[in-house]
Amino acid sequence: MTISEKKVYPRTGDRQTVYLQSVVTDPRIMVGKYTMYNDFANDPGDFQKNNVLYHYPVNDDKLIIGKFCSIACGAKFIFTSGNHTLKSLSTYPFPIFFEEWDLAVANVTEAWDNKGDIVIGNDVWIGYEAVIMSGVTIGDGAIIGTRALVTKDVPPYTIVGGVPAKPLRKRFSEEAAASLLEIRWWEWPDERIKENISAIQAGNIQALK
């Protein structure tokens, strides 16, 4: 069992930061070890209620978050049921009000266009009040800027920002990013990570190979 699986709060005396895998109970939200969430406005333990929105069981869509991610206060993950279908002549969600309009309850999901899961890679930093929309995949090592609205996939080790979010720059050269994706240090045992933290912090990729 890893350290993050044993505790809720990573730092003594800090009740604003939690390891997400210790507080999430919804089986449709899967979080990797050491991924943390900070919230100075609300109880960070209420992440799945306050930050994962329109996540209704009827769609069976999932929020998958990798290891060693950092999620800032107010970041939101908005799922399919928050949408209204664009296939209809009207945006009004008639299927939701099936009783009112004598419609089949089995067709309730026709009220929206199902975009699918949200998948967050490993070592991703999601900034303050950023919004991630359904169907989006964010690659390993990416950074999502403050209040960015992410509607499209984000490649690994790419910094995005704005509304809608657009690539601002790459964190590393293509060669360095490829090496990190091959090394996948976040998959290492805890002891090996501890032994290499200095090299990770110093940006010494060669020392990790």
Cβ-proximal residues to 3 (8 Å cutoff; 6+ apart), any chain = 34, 190
The DSSP string of 42-89 is S-GGGHHHHTEES--GGG---EEE-SS-EE-TT-EEE-GGGS--SSSS
Q: CA 149: distance to chain centroid?
A: 13
Strand, helix or coil for residue 177: helix
The span from the CA of 50 to the CA of 26, in Å, is 13
Give the pairing type, strands 158-161 and 166-170: antiparallel
Query: 198 — phi, psi (to 5°)?
Result: -60, -45
Decide if 84 is catalytic.
yes
Strand, helix or coil for residue 101: helix
Reported as type and span, the H/E element at residue 137 is strand 137-138
Q: Which one of the listed residues 84, 147, 170, 171 is annotated catalytic?
A: 84
Cβ-proximal residues to 133 (8 Å cutoff; 6+ apart), any chain = 78, 115, 118, 149, 150, 151
Q: Which residues carry out catalysis?
A: 84
